[in-house]
A and B are shown apart, each in its own frame.
Chain A
Amino acid sequence: MTGVPLPEFDYMRPLTVDELSAILAKHKGEARLMAGGTDLIPLMRESVLRPKYVVDVKGVKELHGITTHDGGVTIGAAVTVNEIVESEIIRKKFTALWSAAKELSDQTLRSRATLAGNICNASPAADSCPSLLVLGAEVEVVGAHGKRKIPIAEFFKGVKRTALAQDEFVKAVHIPNQPAGAKSLYSKWKRSWGEDVALVGVAALVSGKKVRVAMSSVAPTPVLVPEIGNVFYGEGTLEEKIEKAAACVPGGICPINDVRCQAEYRTHMAAVLTKRVLRELLGVKK
């Protein structure tokens, strides 16, 4: 059905952050930003979104590039998921994000899809988000009234809803350096070997006694399960603590039934993946 055209829109391609800000300030809710287009174009094809203006951000130089600095790493809003997969620093120091990037959709799509697009689309199933939650990422946002930073845990407001105002856009995602010896990982459960939306995704970070676990596809937004952190300050062997951590999972999530699987299965697999990821990070053999 190549005969069916997309709904009508005007295409704009600003070259600077200021120009992009001015477009958003002027057109607000009538404009949609496009980086890779891998979410926006299907949503327009299904007429879920009918923007009057599609604003391609790839021409804005300031949005490109992965930069490392004393505080951590900054990933520009136009950086593709494949650029993240190819980054040695992200593979070594922020492994949860790297392993999530490698699991996001498929290799071809990843050459267009972006990290900023993945968070702005705000799908409950977004692969990158549990990793950003355990790594404590911050979202750098620019709007008509200036800049602000939003902690990733406050960024998601509901299914496909974010904390962004209509005149605001994501300029970059910052990931702070983690304590020496910290390790992190993302594990995704899906139905097929190739591309699929996560049935459940679990990211974890382990740094001494500090343990953080976050999940996708088990609630209206990607969620941290903070109760798991407390378990590791308590008594018991590591294996006992891992079992206790898994027991915290059902109370920390609220999955739904959908075309992919049942809520009950998601709850079960969320606990299983939690155990697998924690065993891997803590070096516990089973």
Chain B
Amino acid sequence: MSRHKILVRVNGGVYEREVEARRTLLQFLREDLNFTGTKSACERGDCGLCTVLVDGVPTKSCLMLAVEADGREITTIEGLAKDGTLTRIQQAFIDNGAVQCGFCTGAFILTTEALLRRNPDPTEEDVKEAFGGLLCRCTGYRQIIDAVLDAAKRK
């Protein structure tokens, strides 16, 4: 099996590692770099809980090989708050009760980051469309959608 040298930026840090061809980006982030805020669940692209931003684009990290991340910039949930200060999206999730068990929260917040960068004033339909590939088994989604619409107002 081939092994590959990769250089990846994660949350502003630069990581140079050698990875097996079969290593997924999810395994690389959690096990090699210890960014365990990226959650592992179905590992087949259904639940979306392993979503990270790759060059700003929400990406299911279980469906991407680590070797494909060579030269790319990755943002995980650990990369958002600066010096302990939450982002307006993180704060809006807390204020709207959008966090219950928390397992899906990182994926929803990162997807929201990308959505609001692209579309600062989304409709409820836009939010639902962006969340099409994310599962939450606690909230019934209502609070999460409210949190996004609220975050958009907090410019």
Contacts and interface: CB of A to CB of B under 8 A. Distances in A.
Contact of A11 (B2, B51, B128, B134): B2
Question: Does more than half of chain A's interface fall in helix, strand or loop, or is it mixed?
Answer: loop
Contact of B24 (A6, A38, A56, A112): A6
Contact of B58 (A11, A108, A193): A108
A54 B134 CA distance: 28
A45 B43 contact: yes
Given A8-B1, A54-B21, A107-B129, A112 B59 contact: yes
A42 interface: yes
A112 B21 contact: no
Contacts of B2: 9-12
Interface in A89-141: 105-109, 111-112
B138 interface: no
Given A106-B48, A109-B60, 9 more contacts: A7-B22, A9-B2, A10-B1, A11-B4, A11-B67, A106-B132, A107-B129, A108-B59, A108-B111
A9 B1 contact: yes
A9 B133 CA distance: 28
Contacts of B43: 1-2, 4, 45
A10 B21 contact: yes
Interface of B: 1-2, 4, 20-24, 26-27, 30-31, 40, 43-46, 48, 51, 57-60, 62-65, 67-68, 111, 128-134
A195 B130 CA distance: 11
Overall SS of chain B's interface: mixed
A128 B78 CA distance: 37
A10 B22 CA distance: 8
Contacts of A10: 1-2, 21
B67 to A, nearest CB: 5
A41 interface: yes
A194 interface: yes
Contacts of A7: 22
- Chain A interface residue count: which class? 20 to 34
A195 B26 CA distance: 21
Contacts of A12: 2
24 contacts: A5-B20, A5-B22, A5-B23, A8-B21, A10-B1, A10-B21, A11-B67, A12-B2, A37-B64, A41-B24, A41-B45, A45-B43, A54-B21, A105-B132, A106-B48, A106-B134, A107-B129, A108-B48, A108-B111, A108-B132, A108-B134, A112-B59, A112-B63, A112-B64
B59 A11 contact: no
A107 B43 CA distance: 18
Contacts of B20: 5, 8
Contacts of A195: 46, 132-133
Contacts of A1: 40, 43
Given A1-B43, A10-B21, A11-B2, A108 B60 contact: yes
Given A11-B21, A108-B51, A195-B132, A41 B67 contact: no
A108 B64 CA distance: 12
B131 A194 contact: yes
A10 B2 CA distance: 5
Nearest to B62: A41
Given A109-B133, A194-B133, A195-B46, A2 B40 contact: yes
A50 to B, nearest CB: 11
Nearest to B27: A2
Contacts of A9: 1-2, 21-22
Contacts of B48: 106, 108
Contacts of B26: 2
Given A38-B63, A106-B48, A112-B63, A8 B22 contact: yes
B122 to A, nearest CB: 12
B152 to A, nearest CB: 17
A278 to B, nearest CB: 26
B41 to A, nearest CB: 9
